[in-house]
Amino acid sequence: MTPLIVAEAVWQYSHHVLHGLITHEGPVLTVANWSGTWPGLVGMLNLLEAARQAGGAPLAAFLEEAFTQTRQPDYWVDVFEVDGWSPPRGRLVGEDGSMTEVTDPLEAEPGLGLAPEAREADGRVTFEVLDPGFTRGLQLRPGRITRRAVLPGHVSPDEDWDGGDDTFHLSHVRVRGPAWSRLPVEVEFRFADGVVVRETWDGRAPYRDYRFLRAAPLSEARIDPFGKITLDPDPVNNARLREPDRRLVHDWALWAGALAQLLGEALASWL
């Protein structure tokens, strides 16, 4: 998406400029001199009002909220945890209907007591969503926990993924945001086996928790994977990995080695 800057310094017919802004796919920045004695400010305000009317009620509500905020909207991945799953203690029902008492989870059969949907026989990924709710003025949404089953996308699996075994993994992610009323965002989860799950968060609550129980561990969690929220002041914290990118470490090692060699040669020639 290519950014577009509209600098207003003269009078203009807003409906002539507005057509290009509506069809533009990307962020738009409007700039004008902040003085009522010059036509630039009036032109920019007229253009924004024309855009508000063209966008309808949703855009008008968003602009009204955005202009009353004191900070830019910042989204970030706050918690990223992956643990091995083990059967709980107690009496559990096996796949054949038999009852088994588990006293030591480490010695129990790995899949004992596992929810059937975790095996994804129908190809759908089931996950749990915890939303704490919010209170804003007269608006009230209680907190809730929901379970969702979706058909995922697929990309290339991780290089070290060997197809898995009977081990299952419990992945937990907490995402945080500015809690705006009209700034939804997409959240993407990529697993070691190449499975990709995308979910739209309305962003009204200050945070949201996601929990997955799958045979493959979660490799990456990313907010706004396609960079649509251009107002986010720090997009670097929008994603977290289960393991660091070794290629980046390797590249930095090469650069550091080359710099040390260059400094050594310069010092030798100077001496």
| Predicted confidence (pLDDT) per residue in 162-187, tens digit | 876 678 899 999 999 999 998 999 99
Give the span between the Cα atoms of 228 and 114, in whole angstroms: 38
What does DSSP say about strands 218-223 and 239-241: parallel, antiparallel, or unpaired? antiparallel
- Percent of the chain beyond pLDDT 70? 75
Q: What is the pLDDT of residue 111?
A: 65
The predicted-structure confidence for 102-144, as pLDDT tens digits, reads as follows 666 556 666 666 778 888 999 999 999 999 999 887 888 999 9
Above 70 in pLDDT, residue 12?
Answer: no
Counted residue by residue, the chain has a size of: 271
Q: Is residue 15's pLDDT more than 70?
A: no
Crossing angle, helix 39-66 and helix 14-23, to 10 degrees? 40
46 band by pLDDT with thresholds 50, 70 and 90: confident
Contacts of 11 (CB under 8 A, 6+ apart): 39, 42, 43
Rounded Cα distance between 10 and 40, Å, is 5
Ramachandran angles phi, psi of 118, nearest 5°? -70, -20
Type of residue at 69: Q
CB atoms within 10 A of CB 168: 22
* pLDDT score at 214: 93
Query: Residue 61: what pLDDT?
Result: 80
Angle 30-36-40 (CA atoms, 0-180°, nearest 5)?
Answer: 35
Whole-number pLDDT of residue 175: 98
- Annotated domain spans of the chain: 4-66, 76-245
Alpha helices, DSSP H only, in the chain? 14-23, 39-66, 246-270
Cα–Cα distance for residue pair 109/62, rounded to 1 Å: 53
- Residue 7 phi, psi (nearest 5): -100, 120
CA distance 31 to 41: 8
Minimum mean pLDDT range among 41-55, 104-118, 161-175, 204-218: 104-118
Phi, psi of 186 (to 5 degrees): -95, 140
